Every structure is written in structure tokens, then in C-alpha cells.
């Protein structure tokens, strides 16, 4: 596998913006198929049509669970995962209940992660657990989540949704997304079998190469076209 293909196979092409139309979703899936990325991460209602569109390609169908704020009941998250897998999803990106994390209700968090991971295992799909690190003010929360995810044996831990904007003292919203500090922390505190996905703010090839060196194996990106364009210029010309 050449370097461009290697980069492409790190990318979950994100098609999750609230305003994305059906036509834009279709075009995004066609783009993903053409450039042979790892997966598309799409809205739940589009799983069935996307599975049909990508049939015969090696691009995996991914969708989200409890997205973007993680507030659904665990039973609903499990049901959402079940339906997604039945319709063709083979990758699930689930948001934890952030309020429960901040309340340190770890039994609750472990139970909801296990419920969705059990569904994923039933269908031979994989689960990525989204922490939404911008909402977690101390490393202790992230470390505990890594420990739980390692215990449950999920496939991936993931930094962010891309939509976790934090309101500052100036009443403006900001977003850090995948920081080097968090990625190093997550890689350090997860078992070797749990992979790390970086999402939020990764827009350039250099961003991808940097996090790859930290042990990241997947990234979530909406700037896929720009990243791959630069990869082709740098590695093939």
C-alpha cells in the first residue's frame, strides 16, 4: 500500500452536518468510494441507502449512536445500534452520557457502553466510543473512560463529535477537538487492543501525519478532499 492509500485508509469521511442534503450525502459517499477511504460516517437515516450505494466497495458503512450529545437512554442507544446494524452499518460511533461522566456514575457509563458494544459484537461490527473531551475539564474523566473502554473491549476510543462547542466567558462558542495532549493521554491509558480515533479540527495532511505518529489509527474528517489532494501532491508527484 502506497502512502496516499495508507492515509486514505485512516479516514472516516464525515457526512454529519445538520444541513447536509440527500444529494450531498450521496455525493459524499461517491467521493469516499472513489478515493477508497476507510469508511463514511453518516446520519442514521441514511444507513440503508448508503449500504446499497457502497456495495461491492471496501468502504465501510459507519453511523452514529446517541449523537451528538449522548443523552439517549442506554436502551435507546442499544436499539439505535441494533437497527443501524440490521440496515447495514458495520461501524458505530457512540457518544457517552457526558453528564453521567461528570457525575462520575461509572457503573452507568460502563453499562451503556457494554450494551452498545454487545450489539456491535452480535453483528460483527465495531464500536467507537466518543468522549467529547471539550466537555471534560479534567484528565481524570478521560482516564477513567479509557479504563472502562479497555475493560469492555471496545474497538476504538474517540476524542470528539466535531459538534461539542463550549460557551466561554465572552458568550462565544469555541471548540478544540482532537488535541495532542488528549490523544497522548488516551493512547497511554487504553489497553493496546483499543485503537484511538482523532476527530475535530483535523484539516490538513500534516495534522494527520502528526497524530499518526502518536499512535492514532483513524481520524474523522470532513476535509478529506484537501487532505488527500495534498497527500497525492507530496507523495506521488
Kindly report the CATH number assigned to the domain that includes residue 90.
3.20.20.70
Can you give the pLDDT at residue 167? 85
**Could you tell me how far CA 184 lies from the centroid of its own chain?**
17
158 noted as active-site residue: yes
Whether residue 197 lies in the annotated active site? yes
How many Cβ atoms sit within 10 Å of the Cβ of residue 207? 17
Our count of domains for the chain comes to 1
C-alpha cell at position 143: 482516564
Query: What is the C-alpha to C-alpha distance for residues 61 and 58, in angstroms, rounded to an integer?
Result: 9
Of residues 33, 77, 93, 128, which has the active-site annotation? 93
**How many whole angstroms separate alpha carbon 148 and alpha carbon 135?**
18
Q: Count of CB atoms within 10 A of residue 69's CB?
A: 15
pLDDT at 166: 86
pTM above 0.85, yes or no: yes
Residues 212, 10 contacting (CB under 8 angstroms): yes
Query: Looking at 33, 114, 142, 197, which residue is catalytic?
Result: 197
* Domain of residue 181, residue span: 3-236
Per-position DSSP letters for 21-36, written without gaps between them: -HHHHHHHHHHHHHHT
pLDDT at 116: 98
Mean predicted lDDT score pLDDT of the chain:
96
Residues 56-99: pLDDT tens digits?
999 999 999 999 999 999 999 999 999 999 999 999 999 999 99
Amino acid at each position: 500500500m502506497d502512502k496516499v492509500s495508507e492515509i486514505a485508509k485512516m479516514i472516516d469521511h464525515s457526512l454529519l452536518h445538520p444541513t447536509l442534503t440527500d444529494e450531498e450525502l450521496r455525493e459524499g459517499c461517491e467521493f469516499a468510494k472513489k478515493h477508497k477511504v476507510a469508511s463514511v460516517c453518516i446520519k442514521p437515516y441514511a444507513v440503508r441507502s448508503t449500504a446499497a450505494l457502497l456495495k461491492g466497495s471496501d468502504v465501510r458503512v459507519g453511523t452514529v449512536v446517541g449523537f451528538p450529545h449522548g443523552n439517549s437512554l442506554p436502551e435507546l442507544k442499544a436499539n439505535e445500534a441494533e437497527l443501524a446494524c440490521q440496515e447495514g452499518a458495520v461501524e458505530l460511533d457512540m457518544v457517552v452520557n457526558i453528564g453521567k461522566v461528570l457525575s462520575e456514575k461509572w457503573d452507568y457509563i460502563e453499562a451503556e457502553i457494554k450494551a452498545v458494544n454487545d450489539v456491535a459484537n452480535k453483528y460483527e461490527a465495531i464500536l467507537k466510543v466518543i468522549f467529547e473531551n471539550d466537555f471534560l475539564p479534567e484528565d481524570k474523566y478521560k482516564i477513567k473512560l479509557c479504563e472502562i473502554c479497555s475493560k469492555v473491549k471496545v474497538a476504538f476510543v474517540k476524542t470528539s463529535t466535531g459538534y461539542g462547542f463550549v460557551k466561554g466567558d465572552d458568550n462565544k462558542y469555541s471548540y478544540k477537538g482532537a488535541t495532542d495532549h488528549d490523544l497522548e493521554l488516551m493512547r497511554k491509558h487504553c489497553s493496546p487492543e483499543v485503537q484511538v480515533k482523532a476527530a475535530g479540527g483535523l484539516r490538513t495532511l500534516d495534522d494527520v501525519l502528526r497524530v499518526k505518529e502518536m499512535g492514532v489509527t483513524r481520524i474523522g474528517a470532513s476535509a478529506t478532499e484537501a487532505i488527500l489532494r495534498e497527500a497525492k501532491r507530496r507523495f506521488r508527484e
